Amino acid sequence: SAPQRWLVAMLRTGHLRDLLHVAAAGAAGPHGTAGHVAAYEKLAEVEKHDVEGFMLACAELLADRSGQPSTRQLAGLLLKNAIGTGAQGSRARSKLARWRGVSMGTRRRLHAAAVVLIVDPADAGVRRAASLCAACMGAADVPAGLWPELLPALASVSVRADVAQASEALQALAFLADEWPLPGLCE
């Protein structure tokens, strides 16, 4: 489709990475910049046109070890926000419905990326962003039986000798507890 071709073209040219870089750089300042605001607006437009492509692109940029840490972290936070934000009420139901519309193939790719990145040795901020993403996905998919591997994977990492990785796995479990849906939310 045209929106998918547009997104693929953005990825091939590095435009999405550039938008994330501008957005991350502007976010570092006290008040942001016009470029920062425009970058966020363009990112929102990309997400609106192709949410699955946007999610996969954010996951790819989060996983890109050659990227700047602030850009990788922002990609993770945008992915988390695209999945869901922990909001209550109609916004939460809307995000959950949108997540349920994401294909299982895409979800599996996002699941796998999040678990791998929780143990990323390079950057604590990337690990934290991955933990937040895993929690958002897990809050919807674990109770539905669509991601039975998450809790055992996090438990396994939490007993590793590497303290930073074990700590992040435990933090992911804490985030998951915060995101876990209230009774009736998933019905």
Give the three-state DSSP class for 57: helix
Contacts for 83 with CB less than 8 Å, ≥ 6 apart: 55, 95, 99, 110, 133, 136, 137, 140
What is the per-residue pLDDT across 73-96, written as a single tens digit (0 to 9) for each?
Answer: 989 999 999 998 555 677 778 888
Q: What is the reported pLDDT for 68?
A: 86
Over its length of 187 residues, how does the chain's per-residue pLDDT go in tens digits? Answer: 555 565 555 555 567 777 777 777 665 555 556 667 777 788 888 888 888 988 998 999 899 888 888 889 989 999 999 998 555 677 778 888 899 999 999 999 999 999 999 988 778 999 999 999 999 999 889 989 999 999 999 999 999 878 988 999 999 999 998 887 655 444 4
